[in-house]
């Protein structure tokens, strides 16, 4: 989720192509910390059989962090602030469901 600065961490095209496990990548379209085109989209382009889910709108880098209570809002306000109209709980539910579908299909897991 919201991958870091992919190229700076040494994940270049040949290295990404060498990944053999199922890979699900998600990022907010409004991520200004690690720009989607340079990071999540770059990785998804080169990881074989990767799936990329881009959350549309103003979802930023920290949208994947847990929802914040009063204490965390006071201690780490930058991690808790979403742009107007961003519903962190709804995004968590969407990403969780999409990841579960992806891995069930990729790993041939059958629900009980």
Mean pLDDT across the chain, nearest whole number?
90
Q: Assess whether pLDDT exceeds 90 at residue 87.
A: yes
pLDDT classification of 112: cutoffs 50, 70, 90:
low
Domain positions in the chain = 13-106
Res 111: pLDDT: 59
Q: Assess whether pLDDT exceeds 80 at residue 18.
A: yes
pLDDT, average across residues 66-87: 91
State the DSSP string of the chain.
-----TTTTT--HHHHHT--S--EEEEETT--SS-TTTTHHHHHHHSTT-EEEEEPTT--GGGGSPPP-HHHHHH-HHHH---TT--HHHHHHHHHHHHHHHHHHHTT----
Q: What is the pTM of this model?
A: 0.84
């Amino acid at each position: 989720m919201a991958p870091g600065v992919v190229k700076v961490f040494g994940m270049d095209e040949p290295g990404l192509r060498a990944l053999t496990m199922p890979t699900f990548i998600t990022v907010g379209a409004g991520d200004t910390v690690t720009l989607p085109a340079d990071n999540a989209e770059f990785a998804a382009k080169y990881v074989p059989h990767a799936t990329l889910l881009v959350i549309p709108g103003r979802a930023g880098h920290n949208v994947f962090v847990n929802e914040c209570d009063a204490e965390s809002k006071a201690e780490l306000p930058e991690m808790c602030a979403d742009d107007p109209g961003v519903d962190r709980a709804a995004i968590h539910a969407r990403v969780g469901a999409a990841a579960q579908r992806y891995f069930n299909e990729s790993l041939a897991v059958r629900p009980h």
